[in-house]
Amino acid sequence: MLDTKECCLIVVDVQGKLAQLMHAREALFRNIRILIQAAKILNIPILWCQQCPAALGPTVPEIAELLTGEQPINKSAFSCCGDETFNAKLHELKRNQVLLCGIETHVCIYQTAVDLLRNGFSVDVPADVVSSRALDNKQIAISRMAGLGVNISSVEMTLFELLRTAEHPQFRQIAKLIK
């Protein structure tokens, strides 16, 4: 089970024209926004990665505007774990649970999840906050990650898992995000 004191959120490569080509793009962006807002409400640290922003462009404005105050980690490796800055910042957080969101599911999300598992992290991927250009690629990646031990869920399932009870002090704020 996810724990607000043990997890962090990693936002992966929701950038430029590529982000506009994702399967179910509007729902993807909406759900990523909900997850980022919830992380902020619940004081869950966020790491923000961008794949070769000079080539792919910056993070899309509707996501970037929620990450004000955060500094993006620009990387060239598909796995976020292939970047030393990312690894250093992740280890500074002293969290053992990682929530992943972003694109593309079958490339950067998949490779990051595999590397995180190898490094001893518990990895959660809400299926509605990741996407690929082709739905088949997303589904294959979700299936492979689940087979490797990644916890597959949804945004709503993740949020209620983090809250655990309707008596949680931030329950009403989180509930408003998903209505």
Domain of 160, in residue numbers: 7-178
**pLDDT tens figures, 22-37:** 999 999 999 999 999 9
Q: Could you tell me which residues are beta bridge partners of residue 9?
A: 46, 99
3-state secondary structure of 167: coil
Residue 80 lies in a domain: yes
Residue 2 lies in a domain: no
The candidate with the shortest Cα–Cα distance to 11, out of 130, 145, 127, 116, is: 130
Residue 8 and residue 123: Cα distance in Å, rounded?
10
Residue 12 and residue 6: Cα distance in Å, rounded?
20
The candidate with the shortest Cα–Cα distance to 78, out of 26, 18, 24, 135, is: 18
Residue with tokens 């690894």: 87
Residue 1 lies in a domain: no
Answer yes or no: are the C-beta atoms of 149 and 114 closer than 8 Å: no
- Number of structural domains the chain divides into: 1
Residue 179 confidence class, pLDDT cut points 50, 70, 90: confident
Q: Which residues are tagged catalytic? A: 13, 75, 108
Please give the average per-residue pLDDT across 91-115, as a whole number.
98
**pLDDT tens figures, 31-65:** 999 999 999 999 999 999 999 999 999 999 999 99
What's the mean pLDDT when you consider all of the chain?
97
Check the CA dihedral 168-129-154-110 and report its sign.
negative
Neighbouring residues of 29: CB distance < 8 A, sequence distance ≥ 6: 14, 19, 60, 62, 63
Residue 40 lies in a domain: yes
Please give the average per-residue pLDDT across 132-146, as a whole number.
98
Answer yes or no: are the C-beta atoms of 68 and 28 closer than 8 Å: no
Q: DSSP letter string over 84-117?
A: HHHHHHHHHHT--EEEEEEE-IIIIIHHHHHHHH
CATH number at residue 111: 3.40.50.850
Residue 89 lies in a domain: yes
Residue 74 and residue 58: Cα distance in Å, rounded?
10
Residue 15 lies in a domain: yes
The candidate with the shortest Cα–Cα distance to 136, out of 177, 175, 104, 158, is: 104
Residue 21 lies in a domain: yes
Residue 71 lies in a domain: yes
pLDDT of residue 15: 97
